[in-house]
């Protein structure tokens, strides 16, 4: 979603801001803007569309200055147009600010400010902040105090950067609910909503916490709470490299990330598997293990692809840990007054660790006094910090909006968790656990073998890229994979696709099947194989065009299906780690053939930080 960058130092700010905005493009946005403090006034440019459009529209010589801010906007209040794009200003163009999040009481504040003579230009909630700060600053004459006083009146969420011509050597930032990171350079400082915007310049960062305001100069950063209490934050070191956030020769981040999976799955298990003992070590759960083992129920909460991983997790945990598991959409969980009782454990799953609904669900569960754990990718993210314990998936930065490597790493971590709990609860024998862990250790190699030959998948993409609908069907562990395959396709190719449990097809979707309808069956040799075979017969009987993901040498399905894609065999609980790979690739190749923007699909955001 919206992206924030800020710079102050000795270099020209504009190129640094534009480079930062480019690096944040993956988050999803519809307009962009910058403001540079140039010769005592604010030089501003805003544009609808991509950062490249903003750059094309800029006469760079007009924006000379060493302090500035930049923003990519994903519209919430008001259509994407130049006026609604950030930065936003006070009445006299002395204050400029950029904002991520939503100001929920903006209407009340706007009415109050209009009655005092403030003139608004945009339809956004954000603009109210500039006028509110201006209003207070007119009387206090202390800018930092005015920001704190203004934010005390605000209901909602914000990651905020403010600049003013009255303080030409200072940027002011604040955070509540939307991430903000401050990067320390040599006589220069960087600000961003996501460290990938600054890792090319510095690895030394401080993550601002909720309720904090920072006053930043070229050489200092003073952090306070809204109540004027000083806070000390340790400088942290970024753990990822610039290469990890670049395409490294791949045409798209998504393809790069699909191909990284042999490595990222390995990284998710690294140092955690105790093969000899048939067990697993997850350090982030040490302090809460007893509570987890005594759980009466586990509730998995997530959104999007992470929710699909949770569904696979439900099958794994129920089969091998024998604790009842429920899976909930975070957005539903938080508003349905969930029944949480003593002995319940909530596990939230989130790649970004910043998804607003998932974070709200976490807070809801914490407020109700149950143990809350997080499975996250982004180190230091809000969900990771606010959980009582948890496990990082260690997939590295995921830039493509359509999640791929995070999904397989989430599955890997859920498998490890299953073995850990299954063993400790005495449900899995040492031998059974060792067998699962051995099979898991073979997965990276098997994924690699799928990735080494993608010709058949490209051929199928060529055949079907003009289809208007797709159906994805699977059962058992591969039912969530059917959902994930359909989600990948619709996210990046804009083809309507639905995932269903294969047998459920008879209760509705079968009506859609005709000789135009591609139906993707996920049919490895697992416990439901024979059943899926019957479902394939049902589709063939209605002339549906069957594409089947199968294990090697499946003659029967090869006879029935128009196309088969072969994946190596694994045990049932791990088969999603293999069957999902061709579905990611199929979606990718179809989207490319349709000329879609694979890494930044329309209307989507990488990290959905509004509810």
Binding site for ligand G6P (CB under 6 A): 303-306, 350-352, 355, 358, 401-403, 604, 606-608
| Closest to ligand G6P by CB, 392 or 529 | 392
**Smallest distance from ligand G6P to CB 402, Å:** 6
Helix (H, G, I), strand (E, B) or coil at 304: helix
Q: Which residues are within 8 A (CB) of 511 and not within 5 positions of it... i.e. 6 or more apart?
A: none
| Closest to ligand G6P by CB, 171 or 413 | 413
| Closest to ligand G6P by CB, 122 or 609 | 609
Residue among 577, 583, 260 nearest 443 (CA): 577
CA distance 370 to 461: 47
Quickly list DSSP for 460-479: HHHHHTT-SEEEEEE-GGGH
Which tokens sit at 45? Answer: 């440019």
Residue among 611, 517, 609 nearest 179 (CA): 609
CA distance 261 to 588: 15
| Closest to ligand G6P by CB, 164 or 609 | 609
| Closest to ligand G6P by CB, 147 or 486 | 486
The dihedrals phi and psi of 545, each to the nearest 5 degrees, come to -95, 110
Greatest Cα pair distance, the chain, in angstroms, is 81
Residue nearest to ligand G6P (CB): 304
| Closest to ligand G6P by CB, 1 or 273 | 1
If you compute the radius of gyration of the chain from its CA atoms, what whole number of angstroms results? 25
| Closest to ligand G6P by CB, 213 or 401 | 401
**Smallest distance from ligand G6P to CB 349, Å:** 7
Confirm whether 116 is a catalytic residue: no
78: Cα separation from own chain's centroid: 24
| Closest to ligand G6P by CB, 409 or 575 | 409
Q: Which residues are within 8 A (CB) of 413 and not within 5 positions of it... i.e. 6 or more apart?
A: 268, 375, 391, 393
35: Cα separation from own chain's centroid: 28
**Smallest distance from ligand G6P to CB 484, Å:** 9
Which residue of the set 50, 256, 446, 606 is catalytic?
A: 606
Which tokens sit at 431? Answer: 């031998």
558 neighbors 460 (Cβ within 8 angstroms): no
Which residue of the set 2, 221, 303, 596 is catalytic?
A: 2
509: Cα separation from own chain's centroid: 30
Q: Name the β-bridge partners of 225.
A: 212
Q: Which residues are within 8 A (CB) of 490 and not within 5 positions of it... i.e. 6 or more apart?
A: 496, 497
**Smallest distance from ligand G6P to CB 603, Å:** 10
**Smallest distance from ligand G6P to CB 353, Å:** 7
Helix (H, G, I), strand (E, B) or coil at 196: helix
CA distance 322 to 422: 8
Confirm whether 446 is a catalytic residue: no
**Smallest distance from ligand G6P to CB 73, Å:** 17
Residue among 290, 608, 574, 577 nearest 406 (CA): 577
**Smallest distance from ligand G6P to CB 91, Å:** 37
CA distance 385 to 466: 45
**Smallest distance from ligand G6P to CB 23, Å:** 17
Give the catalytic positions in this structure: 2, 606
């Amino acid at each position: 979603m919206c992206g924030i960058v800020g710079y102050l130092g000795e270099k020209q700010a504009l190129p640094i801001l534009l480079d930062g905005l480019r690096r944040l493009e993956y988050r999803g946005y519809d307009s962009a803007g910058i403001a540079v403090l140039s010769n005592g006034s604010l030089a501003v440019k805003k544009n609808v569309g991509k950062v490249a459009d903003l750059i094309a529209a800029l006469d760079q010589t007009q924006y000379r200055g060493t302090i500035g801010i930049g923003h990519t906007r994903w519209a919430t209040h008001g259509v994407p147009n130049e006026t609604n794009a950030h930065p936003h200003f006070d009445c006299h163009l002395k204050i400029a600010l950029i904002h991520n999040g939503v100001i929920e009481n903006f209407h009340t504040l706007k009415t109050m400010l209009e009655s005092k003579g403030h003139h608004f230009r945009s339809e956004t909630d954000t603009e109210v902040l500039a006028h509110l700060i201006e209003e207070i600053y007119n009387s206090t004459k202390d800018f930092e105090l005015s920001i704190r006083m203004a934010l005390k009146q605000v209901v909602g969420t914000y990651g905020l950067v403010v600049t003013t011509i009255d303080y030409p050597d200072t940027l002011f930032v604040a955070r509540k609910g939307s991430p903000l990171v401050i990067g320390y350079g040599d006589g220069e400082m960087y600000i961003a909503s996501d460290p990938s915007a600054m890792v090319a310049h510095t690895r030394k960062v401080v993550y601002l916490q909720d309720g904090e305001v920072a006053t930043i100069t070229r050489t200092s950063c003073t952090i306070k709470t809204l109540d004027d209490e000083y806070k000390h934050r340790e400088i942290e070191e970024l753990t990822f490299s610039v290469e990890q956030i670049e395409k490294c020769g791949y045409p798209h981040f998504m393809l790069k990330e699909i191909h990284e999976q042999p490595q990222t799955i390995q990284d998710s298990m690294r140092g955690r598997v105790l093969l000899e003992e048939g067990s697993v070590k997850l350090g982030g759960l040490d302090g809460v293990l007893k509570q987890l083992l005594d759980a009466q129920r586990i509730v998995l909460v997530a959104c999007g692809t992470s929710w699909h991983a949770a569904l696979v997790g439900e099958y794994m945990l129920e089969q091998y840990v024998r604790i009842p598991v429920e899976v909930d959409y975070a957005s539903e969980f938080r508003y349905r007054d969930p029944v949480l009782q003593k002995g319940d454990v909530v596990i939230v799953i989130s790649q970004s660790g910043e998804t607003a609904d998932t974070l709200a669900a976490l807070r809801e569960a914490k407020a109700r006094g149950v143990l809350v754990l997080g499975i996250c990718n982004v180190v230091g993210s809000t969900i990771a910090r606010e959980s009582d314990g948890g496990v990082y998936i260690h997939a590295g930065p995921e830039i493509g909006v359509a999640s791929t490597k995070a999904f397989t790493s989430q599955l890997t971590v859920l498998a490890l968790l299953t073995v850990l709990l299954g063993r400790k609860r005495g449900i899995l024998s040492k031998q059974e656990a060792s067998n699962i862990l051995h099979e898991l250790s073979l997965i990276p190699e098997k994924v690699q073998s799928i990735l080494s030959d993608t010709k058949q998948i490209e051929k199928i993409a060529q055949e079907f890229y003009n289809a208007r609908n797709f159906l994805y069907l699977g059962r058992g562990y591969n039912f969530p994979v059917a959902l994930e395959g359909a989600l990948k396709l619709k996210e990046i190719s804009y083809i309507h696709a639905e995932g269903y449990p294969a047998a459920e097809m008879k209760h509705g979707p079968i009506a859609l099947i005709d000789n135009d309808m591609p139906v993707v069956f996920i049919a490895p040799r697992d416990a439901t194989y024979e059943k899926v075979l019957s479902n394939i017969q049902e589709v063939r009987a209605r002339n549906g065009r069957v594409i089947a993901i199968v294990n090697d040498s499946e003659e029967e399905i090869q006879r029935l299906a128009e196309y088969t894609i072969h994946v190596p065999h694994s045990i049932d609980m791990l088969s999603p780690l293999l069957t999902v790979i061709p579905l990611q690739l199929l979606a990718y190749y179809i989207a490319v053939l349709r000329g879609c923007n694979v890494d930044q699909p329309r209307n989507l955001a990488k990290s959905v930080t509004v509810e």
